Structures are given as structure tokens and as C-alpha cells.
């Protein structure tokens, strides 16, 4: 096994880890806290940003490795990354252990700006609820991953349009952010406020979590189809 194999393995692991880190962020963001609520939201946003940094690291090293002439199969990298990300996300739903692993791996990054959350755990039992919230998160997560995948897909299939593909990826990022800020965040914050006033758990919030797992599963299947086509 040559260096290309290990590069593909490392890249798939980075993508998978970024997926489960962002899922962890939404566990934080969809939990209603009477105390430290504003801090918890800021912390959740920071964890989401760390997950996006991991996505950027993945894309940068994939592009760099490709440009340096390593023999990489994009379909294998994306299929493996999304498959492992989906499996890790399901394991996260079933056990609180993965939260501890994420905190242990990223503790210098996560807890230097948010020391008060060093020993706070956000994992909880969840139940899938399909609603408009589910669909909105499905759309924003899907377009965010399209922004990651499309430039490489186009550059592979239509190399003469690789520069245009970068801007198509940015358009997907813009659309993802637009849906997030207009259809996801307002409903999420409203539910958290209502739950805080009533002293109860926010209803329907788990749909935001489950929809992300469905998205990564679909991207795994799509990448497998790309591999086999």
C-alpha cells in the first residue's frame, strides 16, 4: 500500500470527524439551559465553526494532494468519509462516549475560549420527529456538503470548468447559509425561548439532529453510485 492509500484514509477520517463534530454542535445548540444559555449558544457556534475548519482542512489537503499528482480516487474518499461520518453519527446517538472522545481530541481548541464547559456534557437521548424543521436542516446541511463536493466532482469530470466550479461551490455555501439563517435558526431560537419560559425540554428539536444523519447517509449512497458508475 502506497502513500496514496494512506492519504485517502486520512482524508476520509478528517471528513468523517468533521461530520460528527458538527452533529455534536447541534446537540449543544438544541439543548435548553436555564443557566448559561447564551454562553451555550456561543459555544455551539464555536464548535460548528471548528467543524467547518475541519472541512476546509479536508478540502485544502485533498486539492493539494491532487495537484501534486497523487493517485487519488475522489469517489472512494467521499464515499468512505460520508459512510464513516454516518456510522459515527449513529454511534453518537446511541452512546455518550463519542462526546468524550471529541472533547479529548479537540480540548485545546474547544475549551481555551470556553473553559466553563470543560466538564459539561450535552449528550441526551433523542427521538426523531419529522417536521418543517427537519426539512429546513436537511436542505441547509445538504447544500453545505454540496459546496464541498461539487468543485471536486466538476474538476474531475470537466476540468476546463474547474474555476467556475469553485464559484458554484460558493453559491451552494451562500444558499446553505441563507436557509440556515432564515428557516433554521429563527425556529430553533423560538423553541428554545419557549422551552426556557415553560421550564421544559424544547419540542421537535431532535429533528434538526436526525435530518443531518439522513443527509450524510444520502451523500454516502450518492458517492457509492459515483464510484460504481
Is the separation of the CB atoms in 90 and 169 below 8 Å?
Answer: no
Determine contact, residues 135/207, Cβ cutoff 8 Å. no
Alpha-carbon separation of residue 154 from 57, 159, 177, 225 (angstroms): 20, 7, 22, 16
Q: What is the pLDDT, as a whole number, of residue 172?
A: 92
Rounded CA-CA distance 88/213 in Å is: 10
Parts of the chain with a pLDDT under 70? 1, 32-34, 195-204, 229
In this structure, the number of other CB atoms found within 10 A of the CB of residue 76 comes to 18
Amino acid at each position: 500500500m502506497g502513500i496514496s492509500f494512506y492519504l485517502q484514509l486520512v482524508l476520509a477520517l478528517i471528513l468523517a470527524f468533521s461530520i460528527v463534530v458538527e452533529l455534536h454542535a447541534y446537540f449543544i445548540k438544541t439543548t435548553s439551559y436555564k443557566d448559561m444559555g447564551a454562553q451555550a449558544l456561543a459555544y455551539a457556534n464555536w464548535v460548528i465553526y471548528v467543524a467547518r475548519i475541519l472541512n476546509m482542512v479536508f478540502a485544502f489537503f485533498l486539492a493539494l494532494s491532487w495537484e501534486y499528482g497523487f493517485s487519488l480516487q475522489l469517489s472512494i474518499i467521499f464515499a468512505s468519509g460520508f459512510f464513516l461520518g454516518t456510522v459515527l453519527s449513529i454511534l453518537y446517538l446511541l452512546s455518550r462516549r463519542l462526546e468524550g472522545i471529541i472533547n479529548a481530541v479537540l480540548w485545546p481548541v474547544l475549551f481555551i475560549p470556553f473553559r466553563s464547559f470543560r466538564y459539561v456534557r450535552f449528550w441526551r437521548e433523542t427521538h426523531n420527529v419529522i417536521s418543517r424543521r427537519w426539512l429546513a436542516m436537511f436542505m441547509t446541511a445538504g447544500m453545505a456538503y454540496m459546496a464541498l463536493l461539487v468543485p471536486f466532482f466538476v474538476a474531475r469530470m470537466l476540468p476546463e470548468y474547474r474555476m467556475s466550479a469553485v464559484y458554484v461551490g460558493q453559491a451552494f455555501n451562500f444558499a446553505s447559509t441563507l436557509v440556515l439563517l432564515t428557516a433554521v435558526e429563527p425556529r430553533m431560537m423560538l423553541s428554545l425561548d419557549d422551552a426556557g419560559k415553560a421550564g421544559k425540554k424544547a419540542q421537535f428539536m431532535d429533528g434538526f439532529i436526525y435530518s443531518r444523519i439522513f443527509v450524510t447517509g444520502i451523500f454516502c449512497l450518492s458517492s457509492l453510485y459515483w464510484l460504481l458508475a
